[in-house]
């Protein structure tokens, strides 16, 4: 057994606060005390009480030694910091004060000095640093990985991703080496003692929804149900509330990647066997996946199988558990709607080692699954059930469904459509004492109700406005014909002349500067009259006079013609 070190050894680290130095010097001693109590199976409250007593004793010894030597003592703030680190040995450390706040939902640690709190009202605020350095933050997470959860997990450069459950019941996810800074996200479960009444107080469910869900999970013929929603929508809290309605004598086997339901520790259901996955060791062997746990759960003869989150091939084992007599089996799945959840199940089924054909998967879904419940976070911060869908059968390669509850005016689901009268879901609900008449009339929008009331009173329904035809532009009026411009009569025998074109508007010309008067034009002499060409004259015969001497040899016997006035020969 490790002995407690001297309190004076805390002064060997001047670069850190006295509280942190004191905790580091006593870390090994306190860790041994914690592991001894864990082996004794002491309750968490008793472990926390004894650790605080050890821490207070160490602080008193430190202050006594400091008083004797004249060195600074731990003040009130330093004592709270030291006790917080001591309590962190069982899961929390400097996180313990944050985890104790009931208004905190998520804690985001983006490096040791950047802490953001997500509150229940939707706000996000900054918090004090949880460590003095990145090394101290890694050491704290590494300790949580070794002591929290059912199995010890590594957190180092070889295994830089960590997903585990703290002793307080909250879920922690951490990453290092592959991120810029060591980061941690803690999802704090605020409603470990969940119930339908608690959900009704928060506006998540309404009385009609409570009647349907209670009848769906109660014997003798409980329905197989799947909770659908996004991240942080409240699926785990709703699933825990449904399990609270299951009779205590039934044996439940839960399958989770990281324990979140806490059915036995919270007292919701004592007869629970919780199974948790395990990562591979340094040699890459020893991994236990969700699919392996789902196969093992079927060999334990459970009354119901509950899968905390379906996200892989284990969906086939869940469907198999629903189909072999484990009625009332439950699970959650990430999807954007109840209709999209069926496609997600089909996709996940293909990841199974014994992946069946898509058609066989859809047939099995239609045969063994009964209800899909969708929960989401509304814009005002409330979590609410917005849809409940009934699986009615299979036809033409598709799963047939009917949305019995749909989104209402305020976002919470309202009764919109009756259950299938001869369907299996309604028969199971009636076996549990459910009366469908208690749901009343299906919800109708206000305009539909007004229209039906008007028709019942005999008033004619308002006619929709007749659409007006598009207006055509007015037709252009024909312009009157412009009178033809009078022209002088053409002389007899002249060819026809074209009509005068319409006068064109002449743009006004700018005024010109006055210039000197031009000299009078020189009178031009009219051109001399040109003698008419013989071709232009009317044909006439020229008299021929016989030559007294007869033809001459130069002319070749041809008769010469008289010369024309222009000196050219006249053409015959």
Neighbours of 411 (CB within 10 A): 16
Domain extent listing, the chain = 18-90, 92-189, 196-444
> By the 8 A CB rule, do 90 and 167 touch?
yes
DSSP 132-193: SSHHHHHHHHHHHHHHSSSS----SSSS-EEEEE-TTS-EEEEE-SSSSS-EEEEE--S-SS
Query: DSSP class of residue 209?
Result: H
What burial letters (b/e) apply to 541-569, b meaning 16+ CB within 10 Å? eeeeeeeeeeeeeeeeeeeeeeeeeeeee
Decide if domain 196-444 falls under CATH 3.40.50.300: yes
User: What φ, ψ does residue 149 adopt, rounded to 5°?
Assistant: 80, 175
Query: DSSP class of residue 388?
Result: E
What burial letters (b/e) apply to 72-99, b meaning 16+ CB within 10 Å? eebeeebbebbbbbbbbbbbbbbbbbbb
> By the 8 A CB rule, do 305 and 275 touch?
no
How high is the pLDDT of residue 223? Answer: 95
Bridge-based pairing of strands 115-119 and 104-110 is antiparallel
| DSSP SS3 for 521 | coil
Residue (of 305, 111, 134) closest to 224 by Cα position: 305
Taking every pair of Cα atoms in the chain, the longest distance, rounded to a whole number of angstroms, is 182
Q: Which residue's structure tokens are 């009636």?
A: 430
**Higher per-residue confidence, 78 vs 525:** 78
Is the model's pLDDT at 456 over the cut of 70?
A: yes
Tokens (6 digits) for 420 = 């299938």
Look up the pTM and report it.
Answer: 0.62
How high is the pLDDT of residue 93? Answer: 58
Tokens (6 digits) for 343 = 């496609």
Mean pLDDT of 180-199: 83
Query: Is the peptide bond prior to 266 cis by the omega test (within 30 degrees of 0)?
Result: no
pLDDT, tens only, 17-45: 788 788 878 877 887 787 778 778 777 77
Query: DSSP class of residue 130?
Result: S
**How far is it, in rounded angstroms, from Cα 238 to Cα 261?**
10
Which residues, at least 6 apart from 171, have a Cβ–Cβ distance to it below 8 Å? 163, 164, 165, 186, 187, 189, 258, 260
**How far is it, in rounded angstroms, from Cα 497 to Cα 63?**
133
How high is the pLDDT of residue 566? Answer: 43
User: Which parts of 447-544 are beta strand (E)?
Assistant: none
Tokens (6 digits) for 421 = 């009268």
Burial class, 23, CB count within 10 angstroms (exposed 0-12 / middle 13-18 / buried 19+): buried
Q: Which residue's structure tokens are 């590594």?
A: 154
**How far is it, in rounded angstroms, from Cα 120 to Cα 254?**
28
pLDDT, tens only, 551-562: 444 444 444 444
Mean pLDDT estimate for the chain: 79
Q: How confident is the model at residue 232 (pLDDT cuts 50, 70, 90)?
A: confident
Is the model's pLDDT at 435 over the cut of 90?
A: yes
**Higher per-residue confidence, 305 vs 97:** 305
Is the model's pLDDT at 278 over the cut of 90?
A: no
Q: HSE, CB side, 13 Å, CA atoms: give it for residue 39.
A: 6
pLDDT, tens only, 94-137: 677 787 777 888 899 999 889 999 887 778 899 888 877 787 78
> By the 8 A CB rule, do 69 and 7 touch?
no
**How far is it, in rounded angstroms, from Cα 276 to Cα 148?**
13
pLDDT, tens only, 401-414: 999 999 998 889 99
How high is the pLDDT of residue 303? Answer: 92
Which residues, at least 6 apart from 458, have a Cβ–Cβ distance to it below 8 Å? none
Is the model's pLDDT at 345 over the cut of 60?
A: yes
User: What φ, ψ does residue 333 adopt, rounded to 5°?
Assistant: -150, 145
Of 1.20.1090.10, 3.10.580.10, 3.30.450.90, 3.40.50.720, the CATH number of 92-189 is: 3.30.450.90
Bridge-based pairing of strands 330-334 and 225-229 is parallel
Residue (of 142, 148, 135) closest to 181 by Cα position: 135
The answer to which of 166-170, 209-213, 322-326, 462-466 has the lowest mean pLDDT is 462-466
**How far is it, in rounded angstroms, from Cα 366 to Cα 393?**
5
Tokens (6 digits) for 446 = 């206000």
Tokens (6 digits) for 59 = 């602080």
Q: Which residue's structure tokens are 């990562």?
A: 279
Mean pLDDT of 145-158: 71
> By the 8 A CB rule, do 185 and 141 touch?
no
- Helix (H) or strand (E) run with residue 34 in it: helix 27-39
- Helix (H) or strand (E) run with residue 344 in it: helix 338-349
Q: How confident is the model at residue 295 (pLDDT cuts 50, 70, 90)?
A: confident
Query: DSSP class of residue 204?
Result: S
**How far is it, in rounded angstroms, from Cα 393 to Cα 425?**
11
CA distances from 504 to 17, 483, 487, 497, 501 (A): 103, 16, 18, 20, 9
DSSP 44-105: HHHHHHHHHHHHHHHHHHHHHHHHHHTPPPP-HHHHHHHHHHHHGGGT-GGGHHHHT-TTEE
């Amino acid at each position: 057994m490790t002995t407690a070190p001297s309190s004076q050894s805390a002064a060997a680290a001047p670069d850190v606060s006295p509280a942190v130095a004191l905790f580091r010097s006593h870390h090994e001693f306190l860790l041994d005390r914690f592991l001894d109590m864990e082996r004794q199976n002491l309750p968490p409250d008793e472990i926390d009480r004894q650790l605080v007593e050890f821490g207070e004793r160490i602080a008193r010894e430190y202050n006594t030694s400091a008083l004797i030597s004249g060195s600074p003592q731990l003040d009130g703030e330093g004592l709270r910091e030291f006790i917080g680190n001591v309590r962190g040995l069982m899961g929390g450390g400097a996180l313990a004060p944050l985890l104790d706040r009931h208004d905190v939902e998520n804690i985001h640690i983006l490096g040791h000095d950047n802490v953001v709190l997500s509150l229940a009202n939707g706000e996000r605020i900054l918090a004090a640093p949880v460590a003095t350095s990145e090394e101290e933050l890694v050491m704290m997470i590494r300790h949580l990985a070794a002591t929290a959860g059912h199995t010890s997990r590594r957190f180092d450069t070889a295994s830089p991703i960590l997903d585990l459950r703290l002793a307080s019941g909250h879920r922690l996810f951490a990453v290092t080496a592959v991120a810029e800074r060591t980061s941690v996200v803690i999802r704090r479960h605020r409603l470990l003692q969940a119930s339908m009444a608690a959900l009704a107080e928060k506006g998540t469910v309404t009385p009609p929804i409570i009647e349907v869900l209670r009848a769906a999970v109660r014997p003798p013929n409980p329905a197989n149900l799947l909770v659908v929603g996004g991240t942080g929508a409240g699926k785990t809290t709703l699933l825990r509330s449904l399990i609270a309605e299951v009779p205590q004598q039934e044996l439940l086997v839960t399958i989770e990647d990281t324990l979140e339901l806490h059915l036995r520790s919270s007292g919701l259901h004592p007869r629970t066997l919780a199974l948790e996955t395990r990562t591979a060791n340094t040699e890459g062997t020893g991994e236990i996946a969700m699919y392996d746990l789902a196969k093992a759960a079927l060999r334990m003869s459970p009354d119901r199988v509950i899968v905390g989150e379906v996200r892989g091939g284990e969906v086939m084992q869940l469907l198999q558990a629903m189909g072999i007599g484990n009625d009332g089996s439950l699970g959650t799945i990430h999807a954007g709607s109840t209709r999209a959840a069926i496609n997600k199940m089909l996709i996940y089924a293909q990841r199974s080692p014994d992946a069946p054909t898509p058609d066989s998967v859809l047939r099995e879904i239609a045969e063994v699954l009964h209800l899909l419940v969708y929960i989401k976070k509304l814009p005002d911060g409330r979590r609410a059930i917005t849809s409940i869908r009934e699986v009615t059968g299979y036809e033409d390669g598709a799963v047939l469904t009917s949305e019995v509850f749909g989104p209402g005016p305020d976002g919470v689901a309202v009764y919109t459509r009756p259950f299938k009268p001869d369907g299996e879901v309604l028969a199971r609900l009636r076996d549990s004492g459910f009366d469908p008449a208690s749901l009343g009339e299906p919800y109708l929008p206000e305009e539909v109700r007004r229209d039906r009331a008007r028709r019942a009173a005999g008033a004619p329904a308002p006619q929709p406005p007749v659409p007006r035809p598009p207006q055509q532009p007015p037709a252009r009026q024909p312009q009157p014909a412009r009178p033809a411009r009078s022209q002088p009569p053409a002389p007899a025998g002249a060819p026809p002349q074209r009509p005068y074109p319409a006068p064109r508007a002449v743009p006004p010309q700018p005024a010109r500067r006055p210039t000197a008067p031009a000299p009078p034009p020189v009178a031009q002499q009219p051109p001399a009259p040109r003698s008419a060409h013989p071709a232009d004259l009317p044909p006439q015969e020229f008299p021929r006079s016989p030559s007294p001497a007869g033809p001459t040899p130069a002319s070749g016997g041809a008769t010469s013609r008289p010369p024309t006035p222009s000196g050219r020969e006249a053409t015959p």
